[in-house]
Amino acid sequence: MNRKTFRIIALLSLLGARTIFAADAEKSKTSKVTVIFDHPENYADVKDAFMPTDKGREAILDDIKQFVETRAASLLRAGQSLEMKFTEIDLAGEFEPQLGPNFGDVRIMKEIYAPRFDFEFRLTGAGGKVLSEGKRKLRDPFYLHRLLLSNNEPRCYEKDILNDWLRSDIKSKVAAD
Q: What is the pLDDT of residues 31-45, one digit of tens each?
A: 799 999 999 999 999
Nearest-CA neighbor of 162 among 82, 72, 40, 62?
A: 72
Q: Assign 8 a pLDDT band (cuts: 50, 70, 90).
A: low
Percentage of the chain with pLDDT > 70? 82
Q: Please, what is the end-to-end C-alpha distance for the chain in angstroms?
A: 48
Which CATH number does the domain 31-176 belong to among 3.30.310, 3.20.20, 1.10.8, 3.40.50?
Answer: 3.40.50
Kindly state the average pLDDT of the residues 58-64.
96
Whether residue 95 contacts residue 89, with contact meaning beta carbons closer than 8 Å, is answered with no
Per DSSP, which regions of 56-105 are E strands? 81-90, 94-95
> With 90 as the cut, is the pLDDT of residue 20 above it?
no
Strand order of the sheet with strand 32-37? 32-37, 81-90, 116-124, 130-139
What's the whole-number mean pLDDT along residues 147-169? 90
Task: Name beta bridge partners: 34.
Answer: 83
Burial of 59 from C-beta contacts in 10 A (0-12 / 13-18 / 19+): middle
